[in-house]
Amino acid sequence: MMTPRLALLPLVLALTCPLGCTKAPAERATSASATTVDGTEPAAAARVDVDAKRFQALIAQKNGILLDVRTPGEVAQGRIAGSRAINVFDKDFERKIRLLQRDKPILVYCASGRRSATAADRLIAAGFEDVYNLKGGITGWGQAGMPVERGPVAP
């Protein structure tokens, strides 16, 4: 038989644990932000990892900034046409990305997708909201049959 105190336990838990209690601790930590005018939480910016086909479609929209975060030596071996290069290992990386337009989508890639994922997270931390990372990097891009531009890098 249940004691009266135990019978009240579900009610006490319901009153003391708001709906947010069901979220994992990490989710609560990242969703703790200011509320919008209507009282809801704004959507948090997060990178979107996309495959080569989707990345190509985003490039074709011609409204984003295509960003290669590889080293100069890697860029010289081949790149996606129209990309700008900012080496993620450059000591001035943070300063350089802050010069990019924030109102445009950022399409970021590297050799394999790992450095560009890190760069994308750094872009988001710097205040960019619309950031896409090429899964598999330029290696996956080439394997998908997408064009790779070779030759001297334009200034």
The residues annotated with a catalytic role in the active site are 110
Average pLDDT, the chain: 79
User: Is residue 83 situated within a structural domain?
Assistant: yes
Is residue 70 in some structural domain? yes
Task: Identify the sign of the CA torsion 124, 125, 128, 129.
Answer: positive
Position with higher pLDDT, 15 vs 57 = 57
Tell me which amino acid residue 2 is: M
In a domain, 72, yes or no: yes
**Domain presence at residue 139:** yes
Q: Amino acid identity of 42?
A: P
> Over the range 2-19, which residues count as b (16 or more CB within 10 Å of their CB) and which as e?
eeeeeeeeeeeeeeeeee
Q: Is residue 28 part of a domain?
A: no
Show the domain range for 93. Answer: 48-143
Residue 27: pLDDT over 80: no
Note the pLDDT of residue 136: 98
Phi, psi of 141 (to 5 degrees): -60, -50
Please determine, for residue 34, whether its predicted confidence score (pLDDT) is greater than 50: no
**What is the pLDDT at residue 43?**
58
pTM of the predicted model over 0.85: no
Antiparallel, parallel or unpaired: β 106-109 and 84-85: unpaired
Q: How many domains does the chain have?
A: 1
DSSP state of 33: -
Q: What is the mean pLDDT of residues 61-83?
A: 96
Q: Give the residue-averaged pLDDT of 117-130.
A: 96
Q: Does residue 121 sit within a domain? A: yes
Number of alpha helices (DSSP H) and beta strands (DSSP E) in the chain: 7, 5
- CATH assignment at residue 120: 3.40.250.10
Q: Domain for residue 41, yes or no?
A: no
In a domain, 3, yes or no: no
Residue 103 has pLDDT above 70, yes or no: yes
Average pLDDT over residues 42-69: 92
